[in-house]
Amino acid sequence: MQRKMVTIDGNEAAAYVAHQTNEVIAIYPITPSSPMGEHSDAWSAMGQKNIWGTVPTVVEMQSEGGASGAVHGALQTGALTTTFTASQGLLLMIPNMYKIAGELTSTVFHVSARTIATHALSIFGDHSDVMATRSTGFALLASNSVQEVMDFALIAQAATLRSRIPFLHFFDGFRTSHEVMKVEQLTRNDMKAMLDDQLIAEHRKRGLNPNHPVLRGTAQNPDAFFQSRETVNPYYLAAPDIVQQVMDQFAEQVGRAYHLFDYVGAPDADRVIVLMGSGAEAVHETVDYLNTSGEKVGVLKVRLYRPFSVKHFLGALPDTVQKIAVLDRTKEPGAVGEPLYQDVVAAIREGHQQEEIPFTANPVVVGGRYGLSSKEFTPGMIKGIFDELTKASPKNHFTIGINDDVTHSSLEYDPDFSTPEDKVFRGMFFGLGADGTVGANKNSIKIIGSETDNYAQGYFVYDSKKSGSMTTSHLRFGKEKIRSTYLIRNANFVACHNFEFLKTVDVLGYAVPGGTFLLNSPYSAEEVWDHLPRHVQKHILDKKLAFYNINALKVAKETGMGVRINTIMQTCFFAISGILPREEAIDKIKQAIRKTYGKKGEEIVQKNFNAVDQTLAHLQKVTPPDILTGIELGSSLIPEEAPDFVKNVTARLIAGKGDEVPVSAFPVDGTFPVGTTKYEKRNIAAEIPVWDASICIQCNKCALVCPHAVIRPKVYEESHLKNAPDTFKYVKAKGKEYTETEMYSLQVAAEDCTGCALCVDICPVKDKTNVSRRAINMEPQLPLREQERKNWDFFLTLPEIDRNRVKQETPRGSQLLEPLFEFSGACSGCGETPYVKLATQLFGDRMVVANATGCSSIYGGNLPTTPWTKNAEGRGPSWSNSLFEDNAEFGLGFRLTIDKQKEYAEELLRSLREEVGTELADAILNADQSTEPGIFEQRERVEQLNTILDTLSSTEARYLRSISDNLVKKSVWIMGGDGWAYDIGFGGLDHVLASGRDVNILVLDTEVYSNTGGQASKATPIGAVAKFAFSGKPLGKKDLGQIAMSYGNVYVAKVAMGASDAQTVRAFMEAEAYPGPSIIIAYSHCIAHGINMTYGLQQQKLAVDSGQWILYRYNPLLKQAGKNPFKLDSKAPKVPITDYLYRENRFKMLTKSMPDRARELADRAQRFVDEQYQYYKYLADRKLTPAE
């Protein structure tokens, strides 16, 4: 039977089968598995049916814990049910997995295996999550490639029904889940043939049903539990054979044969590597090559890891094997070895005991770790392992792919070794996140995959920043099946889509001699050579590269494509690479354009067609002169005065050379220095704000809203200007609080700015002679870069103002305080970071921050650098991220420590009163720390105390010295997004609010799961389209503020900086000052709203003006003073809700996809906001009678 070939990624392959073979799907977003749920949700929303003719129900839950509970319930009532998850999500499912397995319930969980957070979070792939489920009773089935993902998704579904054992079907996160591959698509007939109706009927029959009631989920006692637990044994014993039978049936139906353990290699191999997952394909490829050069090696691919069949395992190995290396993509500290290693050792030992061992010699078995967190696993490393196995005593418990210079576990290997690549086209494309390179490459793979008999593979690497990020596309095409599950190192086609990358990335280091280089440059073919850095010129000449140049931005502008150069560069690729005849390629590109953009409008299609046609006229081959004319670039931009750690580690991570950093260079416990973003001068803004001192009113609003803390005002004595650079700008400080000799400067960090222009949009000043000009205006960065670098460096030498002279509670005053959160990797124009930065300005020197996983933990804590920093005294926020779900509890823990140790410190101080000095002790014990001067005085007293304590030798004095810091007030901040606060972390947040403890909770409410790509949360408003809200969210946003207010003793504020900066700053001050739990819910415009981020603050204002977002403050202290604690800071809605909604794509797109529903939801939204305002007005107007 002819099946369709499709070019898809692993997630889509899994979801394709899962959606068609289930009735209920309960999901929760988590990288890298989210797309499986998103596909399923979209398919169901579009009415796509499963193989039994009904549309599966897809439901998003509040957490993976919730999803697994819903799955368990749906299974217990007889529905065919599935879910998708990874990493921490899988951990949250474990309790239900034990239940589901204990009850012998058929289901398949599809898992894109991802690292579990330990010393750090990682979104990338390894098996640490899957390995944590080993004892749940789930069968564990590993897919190694996209084709296998599709095949095994079905095999697992069939096997679970037949065996009654639930299956966890897993594949490597990113490497397989996100790798785009040409695969054969299973048909609905295949699925029907594999899934037995009778078994499905039995599954349903086992469901709870009042028509034949049963009791399941009892509590059992010592007399019964043990025996009951052993009843399942026959099912586990039978399972391996059942899986093999299913695999055999699959082979008959589809033609691809699999086994529980698949051996590949020399039949008489002496050395074998045992492993599972995508790495097995790289080993397969390497084994094939090594055997052609006379070696005798093999690989055993483990498919069914649980239940582990010793019989099948031993039967699959060649009897000649003498050395076995078992590779685990996980780490189990303290264990004898990693899990697969232990199983292999035990299996061979068992074989010996049962005298079933097939081997001619007793093989040596060693274990090793590889590929943690998607660390590359290459033929060079694989050969290194086989080489190690040739030694008489190969190293055990080794690592491969890193340099472990501490415990010396790592094996040596030749990084330059590669399998023959001449039959495979290897292309690398360096693009800017925003330019569409990845999308175009995905299209190219689809074109080549579908239009030629080539196998095709695409893999995409993104960097750790959300703004100005670089993407690298790795594309392989060839006549033979591609098993290279590692990045391209030797490319015969290198395309650099952004000229600036030539200065920071050695793109041509990847080019092979005689290869092709395509460059998008702002120059003509005649001009471009002299603008290339010298090392690039050298590569071109040394490697004799065919060099093509195009000014793609010019073509894009001329054809109305803006900055999207994707179509243009894709056309160049096809024109040069010759993979398809040029005319045919152009035709196929146009077909792909129609497919991609057709639904978005004929005009866009035509624009792209035009760009394709114009491209060929502008693409030029460059004939390089035989001389090097380019400038030599410096090796590192890190300044000499940077700390050693930054120079030795951070700098290498920034330079993309992190793989070379040895173990010894890293901290042992995940603790990193702060204040490192300042060393990463990214220069990503094409335009930067430039201050016009002559009309500035010194309101500092620009500094307040700047998401990246790149605009800073300072007031200082004129005398400090002695060494000012010529272009440094200053004026007399305005305001009666300043003296005649005090100056004001507003300086921009040109190299750190992302060019969002929020500052210009918020500037209230308009030039009276030309209203298009503000007191701050955008101008090209490049001509100003050098000058402003000097100005910025000088600006940093100016003293900070005395904090006590500043009206901190005002927007203007707050901005004269030093921000201790700067230059984050957040999106350009981010709506969250101004709030975070404000908190650090007001309280940074005494803050401890618990940060929920999400955008804020990524831009706050993703290596290589962190924006959290410290002041000249060395004080600043101390920050940590625990998990997504537990952040409120985590932060409460901070408070508990501080409170307890303060209490203990006071007890100790009382007992040491005489030794310390009664006056000092009493002053400390009775200090008023309700204001900042009070805190500063206490800090000085505690420093005096410490000096005295250092001279005392008593145990009590030593104890007190270790905790005396807690005598000074600390400010505990618990931060995170709405996904955390409204959904997954709500239970904990609610409990912390009820604790009465003095914590400050900042909810950065973007109304959607921004970090994982825009899934709906309970904060998502009516009518917004999001993933998992395909048809627009039908229900209103949860009123978190109202829930918090219901406790009566919680300070609650709802703020939107763009609507009222004064209210925002006041709310922060009040929340922090309130001696109990406080929560600030902050409207954060977001890229996931589908807005022009430059106008994010205008959207905030419209949200308030339309009544969508109500500003208020609820201060329990007012109640104690006999006043109404609720203060409404919003006026009555003055514009219709649609004025706000339809300026955002999240709402507007529904008018294009489902116009009638959009109208209905807009009406509903209007009613919602009208009622909401009435309610809050009532709260504000009511007269409270003090209780007796």
Partner 1 sequence: MKLNTRYLGFELDTPLVPSASPFTRDIDQVKRLEDAGAPLIVMHSLFEEEILHEDAELEHHLSHGSESYSESLSYFPDHPEFKQSCDLYLEQLRAIKETVSVPVVASLNGVTTGGWVEKASLLEANGADALELNIYHVPTDPAVSSTAVEDLYVDILRAIKGRVSIPVAVKLGPFFSALPSFAARLEREGADGLVLFNRFYQPDIDLETLEVIPGLNLSTSAEVRLPLRWIAVLSPICKKVSFAASSGIHTAEDVLKVIMAGADVAMMTSALLKFGPEHLAKVRQQMVEWMEEFEYESISQMKGSMCLETVLDPKAFVRSNYMKMLNDYVYKPGS
- Those residues whose C-beta lies under 8 Å from the C-beta of residue 846, and which sit 6 or more positions away, are 875, 935, 968, 969, 970, 971
Among 1155, 1167, 1175, 1182, binds partner 1 (CB under 8 A): 1155
Task: Work out whether 460 is an interface residue with partner 1 (CB under 8 A).
Answer: yes
Task: Work out whether 771 is an interface residue with partner 1 (CB under 8 A).
Answer: yes
* DSSP for 427-443, written as a single string: EEEEEEGGGTHHHHHHH
Q: Position 19: which residue type?
A: H
Task: Work out whether 303 is an interface residue with partner 1 (CB under 8 A).
Answer: no
Task: Work out whether 964 is an interface residue with partner 1 (CB under 8 A).
Answer: no
- Sign of the Cα torsion 536, 540, 546, 547 reads positive
In whole angstroms, the minimum distance from the beta carbon of 876 to partner 1 comes to 27
Among 3, 5, 45, 915, binds partner 1 (CB under 8 A): 45
Which residue, 665 or 863, is less far from partner 1 as judged by CB?
863
Q: Are strands 1051-1055 and 424-432 parallel, antiparallel or unpaired?
A: unpaired
| Residue in 710, 707, 797 with CA at minimum distance from that of residue 747 | 710
CA 735 centroid distance within chain: 45
Binding mask 832-861 for partner 1 (x = CB under 8 A): --------------------------x---
Among 865, 1012, 1060, 1172, binds partner 1 (CB under 8 A): 1012
Which residue, 92 or 638, is less far from partner 1 as judged by CB?
92
List strand residue ranges (DSSP E) for 651-693, in order.
Answer: 687-691
Task: Work out whether 564 is an interface residue with partner 1 (CB under 8 A).
Answer: yes
In whole angstroms, the minimum distance from the beta carbon of 1011 to partner 1 comes to 6
Among 16, 171, 548, 1030, binds partner 1 (CB under 8 A): 1030
Q: For residue 355, give both structure tokens.
A: 């005298």
Stretch that binds partner 1, among 158-166, 840-848, 1043-1051, 1142-1150 (CB under 8 A): 1142-1150
| DSSP alpha helix (H) spans, 293-407 | 310-316, 339-353, 379-389
Q: Which of residues 166-195 bind partner 1 (CB under 8 A)?
A: 174
Stretch that binds partner 1, among 36-44, 448-456, 744-752, 1033-1041 (CB under 8 A): 36-44
Task: Work out whether 897 is an interface residue with partner 1 (CB under 8 A).
Answer: no
Task: Work out whether 573 is an interface residue with partner 1 (CB under 8 A).
Answer: no
Cβ 1161 vs Cβ 1032: under 8 Å: yes
Q: Which of residues 858-877 bind partner 1 (CB under 8 A)?
A: 858
Which residue, 125 or 1133, is less far from partner 1 as judged by CB?
125
Which residue, 312 or 708, is less far from partner 1 as judged by CB?
708
Cβ 630 vs Cβ 533: under 8 Å: yes
Task: Work out whether 475 is an interface residue with partner 1 (CB under 8 A).
Answer: no
Q: Which of residues 905-944 bind partner 1 (CB under 8 A)?
A: none
In whole angstroms, the minimum distance from the beta carbon of 709 to partner 1 comes to 21
Q: How far from 115 is each of 462, 808, 930, 1119, CA to CA, in Å?
A: 17, 43, 44, 49
Dihedral of the CA atoms 16, 22, 23, 26 (nearest 10)? Answer: -80
| DSSP alpha helix (H) spans, 46-178 | 64-76, 87-102, 128-131, 146-163
* DSSP for 268-326, written as a single string: T-SEEEEE-STHHHHHHHHHHHHHHTT--EEEEEESEEES--HHHHHHHS-TT--EEEE
Among 700, 840, 971, 1010, binds partner 1 (CB under 8 A): 1010
Task: Work out whether 1149 is an interface residue with partner 1 (CB under 8 A).
Answer: yes
Q: Could you say which of 107, 559, 1011, 1012 is catalytic?
A: 1011
Indicate if 64 belongs to the active site: yes
Among 276, 572, 612, 827, binds partner 1 (CB under 8 A): 827
Task: Work out whether 985 is an interface residue with partner 1 (CB under 8 A).
Answer: no
Task: Please work out, in degrees rounded to the nearest 5, the angle formed at the alpha carbon of residue 397 by the alpha carbons of 391 and 403.
Answer: 85
Task: Work out whether 978 is an interface residue with partner 1 (CB under 8 A).
Answer: no
Task: Work out whether 434 is an interface residue with partner 1 (CB under 8 A).
Answer: yes
d(CA 1021, CA 1036): 5
- The H or E element containing residue 597 is helix 582-597
Which residues are paired to 83 by β-bridges? 109
3-state secondary structure of 52: coil
d(CA 707, CA 825): 10
Q: Burial, 733: exposed, middle or buried (Cβ in 10 Å; 0-12, 13-18, 19+)?
A: buried
| Residue in 1015, 1040, 1045 with CA at minimum distance from that of residue 1030 | 1015
Stretch that binds partner 1, among 314-322, 414-422, 432-440, 1060-1068 (CB under 8 A): 432-440
| Residue in 407, 405, 406, 387 with CA at minimum distance from that of residue 397 | 407
Contacts 24+ apart (CB under 8 A), 206-209: 206/78, 206/105, 207/75, 207/76, 207/77, 207/78, 207/79, 208/76, 208/77, 208/78, 209/77, 209/78
Q: Which of residues 12-31 bind partner 1 (CB under 8 A)?
A: 31
Q: Could you say which of 107, 114, 426, 650 is catalytic?
A: 114
Q: Could you say which of 64, 338, 832, 1144 is catalytic?
A: 64
Task: Work out whether 1091 is an interface residue with partner 1 (CB under 8 A).
Answer: yes
Q: Could you say which of 11, 21, 22, 31 is catalytic?
A: 31
Among 14, 17, 25, 32, binds partner 1 (CB under 8 A): 32
Task: Work out whether 562 is an interface residue with partner 1 (CB under 8 A).
Answer: yes
Among 66, 240, 401, 1014, binds partner 1 (CB under 8 A): 1014
The residue count for binding partner 1 (CB under 8 A) is 59
Among 498, 1146, 1169, 1172, binds partner 1 (CB under 8 A): 1146
In whole angstroms, the minimum distance from the beta carbon of 41 to partner 1 comes to 7
Task: Work out whether 595 is an interface residue with partner 1 (CB under 8 A).
Answer: no
Task: Work out whether 1087 is an interface residue with partner 1 (CB under 8 A).
Answer: yes
Among 409, 469, 880, 901, binds partner 1 (CB under 8 A): 469
Task: Work out whether 381 is an interface residue with partner 1 (CB under 8 A).
Answer: no
In whole angstroms, the minimum distance from the beta carbon of 1014 to partner 1 comes to 4
Indicate if 252 belongs to the active site: no
d(CA 194, CA 622): 57
In whole angstroms, the minimum distance from the beta carbon of 434 to partner 1 comes to 7
Among 95, 478, 656, 1090, binds partner 1 (CB under 8 A): 1090
Q: For residue 672, give both structure tokens.
A: 């990193």
Q: Which residue has the tokens 């409207």?
A: 1083
| Residue in 1042, 1009, 1138 with CA at minimum distance from that of residue 62 | 1009
Task: Work out whether 977 is an interface residue with partner 1 (CB under 8 A).
Answer: no
In whole angstroms, the minimum distance from the beta carbon of 457 to partner 1 comes to 17
Q: Which of residues 117-146 bind partner 1 (CB under 8 A)?
A: 123
Binding mask 521-560 for partner 1 (x = CB under 8 A): ---------------------------------------x
d(CA 399, CA 410): 4
Which residues are paired to 268 by β-bridges? none
Which residue, 433 or 1133, is less far from partner 1 as judged by CB?
433
Q: Position 864: which residue type?
A: P
Which residue, 1024 or 1044, is less far from partner 1 as judged by CB?
1024
Which residue, 769 or 1185, is less far from partner 1 as judged by CB?
769
Cβ 565 vs Cβ 520: under 8 Å: yes
Binding site for partner 1 (CB under 8 A): 31-32, 35, 38, 41-42, 45-46, 123, 174, 433-434, 436-439, 460, 462, 465-466, 469, 471, 560, 562, 564, 597, 599-604, 606-607, 766, 771, 827, 858, 1010-1014, 1025-1028, 1030, 1087-1088, 1090-1091, 1145-1146, 1148-1149, 1152-1153, 1155
Q: Which residue numbers are catalytic? A: 31, 64, 114, 1011
